[in-house]
Structure 1
Amino acid sequence: MIERIAGIYKGRNKSSAYKDLVFSVATSPDTSVGTKEQTKQALEVISENLKELGSSKESILSAQVFIAKMDEKAEMDEAWCSWIGPNQENWPQRACLGVELEGAVLVEVTVVAVRSPNC
């Protein structure tokens, strides 16, 4: 059975889960701030989304970061590294792609994570 958690955007969910896998996507709720702060806020939303489906950032297998301004990747990396923490055992595979995003969105993050077996 697929679990789906509705988001605020038409035609898509913010998270879904199937068996022991959780899929989530997030952008910053405040697009008036810069790349570093949008990354920080998007990652906070990802944390909340994962928790809602029985997972956490320590259980992320794969992440994709879509960034509108590749010349600001260092700012995104700083926010990412602060959020993911220093324990290399918890670091997921991650790709960063330069893309055109809608409006003032500078960063969009998608993740695939494992959830706890008792969920």
Structure 2
Amino acid sequence: MIERIDTGPRMSRIVKHNGVAYLCGQVGDGATVAEQTRDCLSRVDALLEKAGSSRSQILQAVIWLADMADFAEMNEVWDAWVPEGDAPARACGEAKLARDVLRVEIIITAAY
């Protein structure tokens, strides 16, 4: 069975299937990549809770940065957020994001 949560005409914020929750890409507010990353991860926390999951159940994270020069700044926030011993598989790359003000987008897949 597939369960879609917060579904709109374009996408669902969460799709659950066979014990896996797929979250739509999350972006955050703020002037710096650190502020945007913190806000983005706060939104991830809320979606994980809504999906019946948590940080410790994240299987994979895909992170897009508008500029790889922001990699260290984003990682500082990420490293403080990820539970010790529960780091997921992760990829990070550079991409043109949907709006010029965006500096980071994070896509999460988690068990529930």
Equivalent-residue separation in structure 2 for 1:106 and 1:44 (angstroms): 16
Q: One-letter code of the match for 2:21?
A: V
Residue 19 of structure 1 and its aligned partner are, at CA, apart by 2.2
Tell me the residue number matched to 2:87: 91
Question: Aligned runs of 1:28-39 on 2, under 5 Å?
Answer: 28=28, 30=29, 32-39=30-37
SS at structure 2 position matched to 1:26 = coil
The answer on 1:13 being equivalent to 2:12 is yes
Q: Which ranges in structure 1 are unaligned for 5 or more consecutive residues?
A: none
Aligned to 1:107: 104
Report the secondary structure of 2:90's partner residue.
strand
What is the rounded CA distance, in whole Å, between the counterparts of 2:12 and 2:48 in structure 1? Answer: 13
Q: Which residue of structure 2 lines up, in the alignment, with residue 80 of structure 1?
A: 78
Q: Indicate which of 49, 52, 63 corresponds to 1:51.
A: 49
- What CA distance in whole angstroms lies between the structure 2 residues aligned with 1:83 and 1:95? 16
Question: Between Structure 1 and Structure 2, how many residues are aligned?
Answer: 110
Percent identity among equivalent residues? 30
Aligned residue number for residue 60 of structure 2: 62
CA RMSD of aligned residues (A): 1.5
Give yes or no for contact 1:27–1:41 (8 Å, CA) kept in 2.
Answer: yes
| Letter aligned with residue 21 of structure 1 | V
TM-score by length of 1: 0.85
CA deviation after TM superposition for structure 1 residue 10, in Å:
5.2
What is the DSSP-based 3-state SS (H/G/I as helix, E as strand, rest coil) of the residue aligned with 2:26?
Answer: strand
- Cα deviation for residue 40 of structure 1 reads 0.9
* Mapped partners of 2:45, 2:108: distance in 1: 10
CA distance in 1, matches of 2:106, 2:70: 15
Kindly provide the CA deviation profile for residues 11-54 of structure 1, in whole angstroms up to 9, marking residues without a partner as x: 112211112000113111x2x42111111111111111011011
TM-score, with length taken from structure 2: 0.90
